[in-house]
Amino acid sequence: MEVYNGMARERLCELLEKIRGVRAAILGDLCLDVYWLADMKRSELSLETPHFPLPVVEERMSPGGGGNAAANLAALEPMKVFAVGVTGEDWRRAELLKLLGARGIDTAHVNSVPGIVTNAYCKPLRAGISETIYEDPRLDFCNYEPLGAEAEDAVIASLDAVVRDVDVLCVSDQHAFGVCTPRVRGHILTLARGGLTIVVDSRYNIDAYSRAILKPNEKECASAIGAACLEKLDDYEEAALKLSHKCGSEVIMTIGAQGAIYTDGSGATHIPARKVNGEIDIVGAGDTFMSGFSLALAAGAARPEAACLAALCSEVTIRKIGCTGDATPEEALAHYDHLPAPYVPSGGHR
């Protein structure tokens, strides 16, 4: 397996600048992340029930799921980002659209569908006397029935409207009953066969996207090929190749702290990660990687170069604790400048 040696600073700057001319779209399961911080020092035993209530002193919200992928696209400052998806007709839709719009994301193709809910992950947090913050079980708003035909029609029409004006389409297929129904997925495959660059992140269906560029993590890849737990680089390489052959697709598989593996089916390249010191929070790192990889590809990067830029962005994101963060061009460049010497190549990749 080849190993990518890294990217010169001049090339990184060139790609970050070229991303400013890219137009991208994200089709996905758009979610709202809600954080409620309760100060338990203010709690008093209820007179009516044997419970201490959670006195919420702070509320914050951010885009989650496919919405987080959209936010990560926007953070790298491309020319345009379109969001395509569905929501319910509830307060969570209004909050989600407001958050996406504030990032400059075009939400005209986020379709409102009667009878469904806007996906949301609500996270109650408890603070007390010590510095420890305790997270209660999450409250999830999700849909548990497939989208109807009218909603699918609207999504397909939205896709057709935006792909005329984009260089790359990202797909964030995360929910069992989400926007990427079999029919919508079939339309995505038609677009891929027509030559559109499509990068797919899918929790349950990564092997259903032939001809697209697949971005599983190691667990999703193992599940897709029916493999046991993957442990070594040789295992990862074999799994990525098997998935590539199964789907007739390129694969960029993230492997946590070890980086990523790229294959087009004929061979594999390992793109190593660099150690990140201190506390980390990996929530949303996959969204960051997909966004950075997709934009870099559309800006003209080779596959290993795109993965290197994506890894840089992810390394920025995981240092942002307690949120699904993103990475700006300035943050990615600053992180590069503080990397150990091995990131600076002597001659591209081998």
Q: Are 81 and 298 in contact (CB under 8 A)?
A: no
pLDDT at 216: 97
Q: In this model, does residue 347 exceed pLDDT 80?
A: no
| Topology classification of domain 2-343 | UDP-N-acetylmuramoyl-L-alanine:D-glutamate ligase (3.40.1190)
Among candidate residues 121, 33, 115, the one with its CA nearest the CA of residue 70: 33
All structural domains of the chain with their residue ranges: 2-343
Q: Residue 141 to residues 64, 65, 70, 90, 118: CA-CA distances in angstroms? A: 12, 12, 20, 11, 7
- What is the residue whose two structure tokens read 């994101």? 317
Least confident of 95-99, 177-181, 224-228, 268-272: 224-228
pLDDT over 90 percentage in the chain = 83
| Whether the predicted pLDDT of 209 surpasses 70 | yes
96 Cα distance to chain centroid: 16
The pLDDT of residue 345? 41
d(Cα 114, Cα 258) in Å, to the nearest integer? 44
pLDDT at residue 342 is higher than 70 = no
| Mean of pLDDT over the chain | 92
Show the 3-state SS of the chain. Answer: CEECCCCCHHHHHHHHHHHCCCEEEEEECEEEEEEEEEEHHHCCCCCCCCCCCCCEEEEEEEEEEHHHHHHHHHHCCCCEEEEEEEECCCHHHHHHHHHHHHCCCEEEEEEECCCCCCEEEEEEEEECCCCCEEECCCEEECCCCCCCHHHHHHHHHHHHHHHCCCCEEEEEECCCCCCCCHHHHHHHHHHHHCCCCEEEEECCCHHHCCCCEECCEHHHHHHHHCCCCCCCHHHHHHHHHHHHHHHCCCEEEECHHHCEEEECCCCEEEECCCCCCCCCCCCCHHHHHHHHHHHHHHCCCCHHHHHHHHHHHHHHHCCCCCCCCCCCHHHHHHHHHCCCHHHCCCCCCC
pLDDT at 198 over 60: yes
336 touches 12 (CB < 8 A): yes
Model confidence over 286-307: pLDDT tens digits? 899 999 999 999 999 999 999 9
Pair of tokens at residue 164: 């005329």
Write the Ramachandran bin of 187: left for phi over 0, alpha for psi from -120 to 50, otherwise beta: alpha
Residue 317's pLDDT band, with cuts at 50, 70 and 90, is confident
Residue 148 has which token pair?
């109807």
What is the mean pLDDT of the segment spanning 205-226?
95
Question: What pLDDT, on the 0 to 100 scale, is given for residue 276?
Answer: 72
pLDDT over 90 (residue 96): yes
